[in-house]
Amino acid sequence: MLIILLFFFTHWFLSLFFHSFFLHRYASHKMYTTSKPWEKFFYFSTWFVQGSSFLVPSAYGVMHRMHHAYSDTEKDPHSPHFFEDIWQMMIHTASIFHAFTTGKNKPAPEFTKEYLPSWSKLDKLGHSMITRILFGLAYTAVYVLFAPNAWWFLLLPIHFLMGPIQGAIVNWCGHKYGYSNYDNGDHSKNTSPWGILLMGELFQNNHHHAKNNANFARRWFEFDGTYLIMLLMHKLTVIKLVPATVKNQ
């Protein structure tokens, strides 16, 4: 049982960290700069830890920029206020994402004029159904070897869809439940204490107030774990935080 719990939570928090650190704060907002080798490392790590649920960074970045531009309107690709449940929102988001990754739909130029990281070979590999199935089989093998009983296999769908599930939780809960520090003209909320457990991603009201601020926490009881790791990486010169992203708002 201990091995399964360690596997699940390691997968959860590594996927969550690279989702927040690379996809959100770099691909979408460019809150820090880094060298090309480090960018490749973070890119590869995001693919490896998300595995079967890998989200192509360029498509993610475009959709997230759309989310800020059209927050909680009908043009928002994943506002919870136009769907009966979180599952319908996930399906709608996935269809837009798929259209961008396959080229069936082209994003408006305003969402691509800023830097979007790209690694075409890895995107093709990571977005391949064969690759996703192989990762799924690897997760299943761990459970076959170490799960004490069949009930633990109910966790496997979370492994299979880890990236989209984490994104859906943030977008659904972060725009429906909690409190607001700012009037942003949308429904963004801060959802504590889950904002802590989601490594800062559920402080959506704070983030929408100042989208380029790397620190999503504002009040004394708000804690942004991803930002603290970014500060350490900045001090170690692995990344360089953009000055405008670290000022208090």
pLDDT band with cut points at 50, 70 and 90 for residue 18 = very high
Write b or e for each residue in 166-187: b if 16 or more Cβ atoms lie within 10 A of its Cβ, otherwise e. bbbbbbbbbbbebebbeebebb
Q: What is the mean pLDDT of residues 131-149?
A: 97
CA distance 168 to 84: 14
The pLDDT value recorded for residue 193 is: 81
CA distance 171 to 168: 5
Of 18-22, 50-54, 110-114, where does mean pLDDT reach its minimum? 110-114
Give the percent of the chain with pLDDT over 90.
92
Where are the domains positioned within the chain? 2-245
User: For all residues of the chain together, what is the average pLDDT?
Assistant: 94
The pLDDT value recorded for residue 245 is: 59
Q: What is the pLDDT of residues 182-220, one digit of tens each?
A: 999 999 999 988 778 899 999 999 999 999 999 999 999
The pLDDT value recorded for residue 248 is: 46
pTM here? 0.93
The pLDDT value recorded for residue 103 is: 85
The pLDDT value recorded for residue 41 is: 98
Q: What is the pLDDT of residues 232-249, one digit of tens each?
A: 999 999 999 998 655 544
Q: What is the pLDDT of residues 30-89, one digit of tens each?
A: 999 999 999 999 999 999 999 999 999 999 999 999 999 999 999 999 999 999 999 999
